[in-house]
Amino acid sequence: MLHTFVAYVEDLPGVLTRVASLFRRLNININSLTVGRSERPGLSRLTLVCEASAEAGHRIQASLFKLENVVDVDDIAQAPSVTRELALIKVAATPQNRSQIFELVEVFRARIVDLAPESLMIEMTGVESKIEGLIQVLNEGEERILEICRSGKMTMRRGHHTSRVLRAMGAGAAERPVSEDDPANAVEESADIEPA
């Protein structure tokens, strides 16, 4: 199954190697790893996604905690949470076919962040399936993708909401995870809960 770990680690040289080395030793491939500063001074926050057996979660979390530079570890598992990914996509585009891409970008609630004579750059934030959706549409159309840069997943647990609030937000019952893999969910979800 897909595991998502969120960890606070000390912002020091070599810490990422220690974290990555743990997965290397278990022969587990890291699907995505996102690291950046956190709200806690001197600590970075990382989101790590990997494929491993269901039972492996406990041991990975316990092993991460054994690393001296790891301060906090959360095994998100099925808990209600919000996951986002940022993608920059550079597409070959001429003045003749730009408008098509503009339409597409509008539908996917993405943004154009760079416009050059022969290309443009799309910035999109969302769940993985939404980004996959845009890439698929671009690939299937006339457009030629020149470059893709994806941040990997960032995950944060939801706050403690009543189920009524969550329903109003379109996120389902409090304890039910939001299905992020269902492409049909993607655009709708973004419309409902993503701030503009």
Give the pair of three-digit tokens for residue 10. Answer: 């000390």
Give the pair of three-digit tokens for residue 176. Answer: 């039910």
Closer residue to another protein, CB minimum distance, 10 or 194: 10
- Name which position in 37, 65, 149, 163 contacts another protein (CB under 8 A): 65
61 in contact with another protein (CB under 8 A): yes
18 in contact with another protein (CB under 8 A): yes
Nearest distance, CB of residue 12 and another protein, angstroms: 10
Nearest distance, CB of residue 80 and another protein, angstroms: 22
Identify the DSSP state of 1: -
Spell out the SS3 assignment of 27-92: CCCEEEEEEEECCCCCEEEEEEEEECCCCHHHHHHHHHHHCCCEEEEEECCCCCEEEEEEEEEEEE
Q: Which amino acid is residue 141, in one-letter code?
A: G
Strand arrangement, sheet containing 70-75:
30-37, 43-51, 2-10, 70-75
- Name which position in 1, 17, 149, 193 contacts another protein (CB under 8 A): 17
Angle between helices 98-107 and 128-140 (to 10 degrees): 160
What is the b/e burial string over 7-21, where b = at least 16 CB atoms within 10 angstroms of the residue's CB? bbbbbeeebeebbee
21 in contact with another protein (CB under 8 A): yes
List binders of another protein among 73-132 (CB under 8 A).
Answer: 73
55 in contact with another protein (CB under 8 A): yes
Nearest distance, CB of residue 69 and another protein, angstroms: 8
Nearest distance, CB of residue 66 and another protein, angstroms: 6
* Piece of the chain touching another protein by CB under 8 A; list 39-47, 64-72, 113-121, 134-142: 64-72
Binding residues for another protein, rule: CB under 8 A, are: 13-14, 17-18, 21, 25, 55, 58-59, 61-63, 65-68, 72-73
